[in-house]
Chains A and B, each alone.
Chain A
Amino acid sequence: DGGITQSPKYLFRKEGQNVTLSCEQNLNHDAMYWYRQDPGQGLRLIYYSQIVNDFQKGDIAEGYSVSREKKESFPLTVTSAQKNPTAFYLCASSNPGQNYGYTFGSGTRLTVV
């Protein structure tokens, strides 16, 4: 079955470390997205990519970086510049303009220790 796989499910980071969250999809979707979820704030867009080798900043891109070298993959790096990285991170994919259907992964919970 097609879907989105996020790994790991739980991730712990020490202060000053960079960590990378994985997101892989086999839906042949062109666009991929990273959202951050904090209690009471809904989901906020970090970065998105509509085609391979291209990506754009979302609303809260500071302290994050991404790459889109393959259509299937859109990894997110949380850098040491992100001052408050503890959150739940969700990856999604879609084919813009085609039913606007988004498919979400099951998320990665990142905790700074």
Chain B
Amino acid sequence: AQSVTQPDIHITVSEGASLELRCNYSYGATPYLFWYVQSPGQGLQLLLKYFSGDTLVQGIKGFEAEFKRSQSSFNLRKPSVHWSDAAEYFCAVVLRSNDYKLSFGAGTTVTVRA
């Protein structure tokens, strides 16, 4: 079945430590890939996206993601986490063959401890 998987439901990280959020997809073709962030009770903000080309993508707020075709993965990273990074993070995909609809993983909640 076609799906987007975020294996980690909840991650706790210390302020200043590095963060990596995992995302795997299962589709016949390589989809367009996105990471979104959501603060409590708010809408979603786009962090970064990958369509083609350089497999290391830079986004806003100091985030980056690496596309690995062999592993069907698009993991999100940040070298040094700030308390304001506490939020829920969603990996999402778009397939041209699926009417360009955005399909989401279940999300990973990030808690930042002082």
Contacts and interface: CB of A to CB of B under 8 A. Distances in A.
Contacts of A102: 44, 46, 102
A96 B100 contact: yes
Contact of B43 (A31, A42, A104): A104
- Kindly state the interface size class of chain B when it binds its partner: 20 to 34
A43 B104 contact: yes
B58 interface: no
Interface in B61-114: 90, 94, 96, 99-107
Contacts, number: 59
Interface in A6-44: 31, 33, 35, 40-44
Given A100-B49, A107-B42, A58 B101 contact: yes
Nearest to A106: B43
Nearest to B91: A42
14 contacts: A40-B9, A40-B106, A42-B6, A42-B104, A42-B106, A45-B103, A50-B99, A56-B99, A94-B102, A96-B99, A97-B96, A102-B46, A102-B102, A104-B45
Interface of B: 6, 9, 32, 34, 41-46, 49, 51, 90, 94, 96, 99-107
